[in-house]
Structure 1
């Protein structure tokens, strides 16, 4: 028994091939510091790809918040500050799968025990000085690792957040395009729907050209849009009532809720629309960089949006009856048609953030074994995260066309907005709190302050958007439920296959007996076996031999290992090791590919081996 345990432990040990498989000469390209010029280029692109949805929210936030009109002039001030609070919360949205992956690297909570060798170089494997934070982190980590229900709960929460982002991503293009086309009131409903469907098809058709080209095409339009809304906002502040800036006083929020009670709480369902699209923001991050996102938001996006909202608030203090058409009514007459044209294009582009984010989320899900295998096209040789998935693109297009044709108006689709956004915020806050406890080892007081403040804000908004459940809010939840079922089933099957292969590796004793078995014939040629494991001989080999008592004169166990680099040099593509017993002529081959390499067929691989 002890001998078997020792053998199993040896099979699980990281060998030299496993370590070498992750190292190539081009690896220095991955994660290298970007130049200032490249960072600014990515920042400009991110405006067009990431912030389109946030930037077009001034088109409808005030009208959605006050559908029954404004009762008191100070309600505008309370609403204005409320609309800026969510922007303080959403930068924590780092993507549920990204957070889950980080937790899995520091604690053995993944349902598939596939820790990579480089994970052992992380800080949690290194010696740390004893402290209360370290003891607390170790206790929580131990509890997570030894509680099966906690592992499953963490996984379910992760795919729930991911599914909600994708589900909301189906609605975003619909409402953005419909709101753009319906700006011309003279068009009938059928004409609006027809044009919207045509635009949607064209929008999804250009995705194949990649984020670089789409970003540089859309970026200037969104940049122009932000300039327009900030200038109009500044004009309205100076012209109508610059004293609305006193809305930064939190007392106006208190008075707003005190005066309006339940109606103020329900209105938060409209206020939260100001951050629609942020649930996919850090899924889009892989297409750019952290610094590019920080620069574009802090220095450009956030200030221009604040000018837009406070400018509209200043206008409404003079003309509160115009709340249902706040944006267009507040535009100075000479600027109306230029702004309208830019608004139409900006609203169409707004859906780009969710489309791009969906591609990234699916790519992350696939790497975690939580999504069926689909073709992933890397559209940039410089950025690994810039991906395009044809199958997902066409499925999104079909659903968007169906929803647009079925609902016909933005009002009906708008009722479904917000639930996914706030739900992902709540899930992300909970996961980030766990990371603070287990990985960052922050003071418990600071963690408590963070959690209480953010969960209180998000909890209030979540309760408000759930009020719209029966009015269409069930739609993104329905999409999320279907995706959760697909992802859950696929992950379960993937886990079962992985565990079976890991637990039924061919033993060295079996190979010794096989080499001395006279009933096994060796036939000319090279036999190839595929395995996802870098170590051991897969169980398919023993299954093959038991059914066909013959083995090729040379057997190669092939494992394909994708690496986070653009290309792997041909001379570094394949790693070979001879397996025991050596006289059996069995080899292990690890084929390494970068994200821009084309995976070779058997004939090409064979020719490459012969050259090597």
Structure 2
């Protein structure tokens, strides 16, 4: 009896935990894709507005949107990519880290694919807040046309407030994300249900034949419309990137139980409304609702778009942290805004970059219609990159043969490539914006990676092997350095070579501590490293020890906390009698080196933005000694 009671209590607890994760995933994971009905169908109808809408054009268009959701989001992301995880973490860089760990023959291709995907995601994180918030507020024009002039300033005010609160953390606000977004999806489903009966023939859109008919008969205009159709799946990349926060099962349950049905009903309802009343094409989403519900729906839509914006901003923070740990960006200041959830972080540099980008987009495009033309390229580009990486995943991780992996993914790749081509037609209408953003971000990451590798190779030429240095420095002689009490920790990225800062310390101060630790900090290609694998100690001599501390790419590199594990393994030291020696490099530009002059300048600028290593690795600030050296680049 007691056993069954315990089992029942445990089952109830597990069910409650799962329900909370499902609710949370609805608020965070699906916030972006849940705002697409505000503008996707409206923008897809615009090219047909000049000569009116034909019955089969509307049905074919809705069919195409429904089946785009089904094939790309349901099949590719929810059922397949959520299983392509790196120890539970998802997203472009997590997948890249996994592939880099498992493969070697396609490293350059994988590297640039990962950079492109990450850069496009950052571009998406700028456009999503601007587009979704303006789309929501434009409902005010229907509530009171006199308020139309306030859409732009209100959008700016909301964005200013949203980015200002990022430093405070989202723990308190996130509790309301799920319930509000659930209410939003229910409102969308209700709006669709009350209008499907306007023209029951809209249910023919569930037949994929009509989607194929639209593609083959709509001509050039139909090809152009494909770019707007793809707006229905914006947010799918964020779905994959947030895998680590909620897990696969809650995300899948949320999609099939609420999100997918609500989106389907809403698009069907919009289509039926336009079939019965073509004038509703001006803003089919808001015109679905009765006049008394319009203002509450506008308020709810605005709240939903703010949540969607928060989701992509948080995703950009997580991506930046992954990029720093993987060596694609300089060390950036990362602040943890929650004591319990390591996923809740704030990256000031990224926050400032996104804020400037969002405000410039709002002020430049001025309405959602203009901005929507620029949106699709970043989304489709990121999805094509993910599909290419998924092909390598099937081959390298799951062991599929080339023709099997190709048979599964080539159809999807062709579909997404057609959508990308359709979006590229909008380059001159603002589509160049996400392309320029992605190229700029990719250039930054490529430059930092290339420059860091060049400096590492250059400085390695002058390194002295530790196995040669230790006997030489410990050998008694008249020129031997003076022994001083305490422990000295020398940070280096090359553990088998003598750290430059150690050589400079002996050269200038002529001293050597009683205990000397050669510390190397590693970042694994997996998100988290268990405590049992955190530290590894190797005794090199009586006075020298090698210490390796390993973190996952999703973890905070807290060296001080990790050092406490050393005591449990027998290494005794007092933190207040320990000095941490860091080398500070002063980069000097020189002609005819391994980098072009413009890339030298860019790399040195990025290096100036890097935060102090002692702050990044959480070293005791009053125990750090920095010794500078000049490095020609």
TM-score scaled by length of structure 1: 0.79
Q: What is the match of residue 82 of structure 1? A: 64
C-alpha contact (below 8 Å) 2:473/2:481 kept by paired residues: no
Q: How does 1:134-283 map to 2 (within 5 A)?
A: 144=105, 150-185=106-141, 186-187=145-146, 191-237=150-196, 239-283=197-241
Structure 2 unaligned residues grouped into runs of 5+: 1-12, 82-89, 567-572, 579-633
Alpha carbons of 1:496 and 1:518: their partners in 2 closer, same or farther (altered >3 Å)?
Answer: farther
Q: What is the match of residue 449 of structure 1? A: 407
Q: How does 1:6-45 map to 2 (within 5 A)?
A: 35-45=14-24
Alpha carbons of 1:38 and 1:532: their partners in 2 closer, same or farther (altered >3 Å)?
Answer: farther
Write out per-residue CA displacement over residues 112-155 of structure 1, whole angstroms, 9 at most, x where no aligned residue. Answer: xxxxxxxxxxxxxxxxxxxxxxxxxxxxxxxx1xxxxx432321
Alpha carbons of 1:534 and 1:380: their partners in 2 closer, same or farther (altered >3 Å)?
Answer: farther
Distance 2:260 2:510 in 1: 70
Q: What is the match of residue 98 of structure 1? A: 94
Q: What is the match of residue 267 of structure 2? A: 309
TM-score scaled by length of structure 2: 0.77
Query: How many residues in Structure 1 have an aligned counterpart in Structure 2?
Result: 532
SS in 1 for 2:332: coil
SS in 1 for 2:375: coil
Equivalent in 411, 415, 440 of residue 482 of structure 1: 440
SS in 1 for 2:397: helix
Deviation at 1:411, TM superposition (A): 2.1
Structure 1 unaligned residues grouped into runs of 5+: 1-33, 110-143, 145-149
Q: What is the match of residue 130 of structure 1? A: none
Q: How does 1:565-584 map to 2 (within 5 A)?
A: 577-580=538-541, 582=542
Alpha carbons of 1:589 and 1:449: their partners in 2 closer, same or farther (altered >3 Å)?
Answer: closer
Distance 2:374 2:57 in 1: 25
Deviation at 1:190, TM superposition (A): 5.7
Q: What is the match of residue 121 of structure 1? A: none
* Worse overlay, 555-564 or 265-274: 555-564
C-alpha contact (below 8 Å) 1:284/1:360 kept by paired residues: no
Deviation at 1:476, TM superposition (A): 0.8
Distance 2:202 2:282 in 1: 20
Write out per-residue CA displacement over residues 475-504 of structure 1, whole angstroms, 9 at most, x where no aligned residue. Answer: 011111111111111112333455567774
Q: What is the match of residue 465 of structure 2? A: 506
* Worse overlay, 435-444 or 589-598: 589-598
Distance 1:574 1:463 in 2: 50
Q: What RMSD in Å do the two structures reach over aligned CA positions?
A: 3.1
Q: What is the match of residue 9 of structure 2? A: none
Distance 1:152 1:597 in 2: 27
Deviation at 1:392, TM superposition (A): 1.4
Alpha carbons of 1:567 and 1:260: their partners in 2 closer, same or farther (altered >3 Å)?
Answer: closer
Alpha carbons of 1:254 and 1:578: their partners in 2 closer, same or farther (altered >3 Å)?
Answer: closer
Alpha carbons of 1:505 and 1:609: their partners in 2 closer, same or farther (altered >3 Å)?
Answer: farther
Distance 1:57 1:276 in 2: 7
Q: How does 1:411-422 map to 2 (within 5 A)?
A: 411-422=369-380
Alpha carbons of 1:410 and 1:505: their partners in 2 closer, same or farther (altered >3 Å)?
Answer: farther
1:519 aligns with 2:519: no
1:46 aligns with 2:28: no
SS in 2 for 1:269: helix
SS in 2 for 1:56: helix
Q: What is the match of residue 394 of structure 1? A: 352
Alpha carbons of 1:547 and 1:278: their partners in 2 closer, same or farther (altered >3 Å)?
Answer: same
1:62 aligns with 2:41: yes
C-alpha contact (below 8 Å) 2:62/2:205 kept by paired residues: yes
Asked which structure has the greater RCO (Cα within 8 Å, sep 6+), the reply is 1
Q: How does 1:341-380 map to 2 (within 5 A)?
A: 341-380=299-338
Alpha carbons of 1:603 and 1:587: their partners in 2 closer, same or farther (altered >3 Å)?
Answer: closer
Distance 1:187 1:508 in 2: 79
Distance 2:300 2:501 in 1: 60
Deviation at 1:290, TM superposition (A): 1.7
SS in 1 for 2:140: coil
Distance 1:489 1:466 in 2: 26
C-alpha contact (below 8 Å) 1:178/1:410 kept by paired residues: yes
C-alpha contact (below 8 Å) 1:284/1:356 kept by paired residues: no
Distance 1:97 1:340 in 2: 36
Distance 1:603 1:254 in 2: 62
Q: What is the match of residue 409 of structure 1? A: 367
SS in 2 for 1:417: helix
Q: What is the match of residue 492 of structure 2? A: 531
Distance 1:279 1:369 in 2: 22
* Worse overlay, 222-231 or 552-561: 552-561
Distance 2:342 2:353 in 1: 23
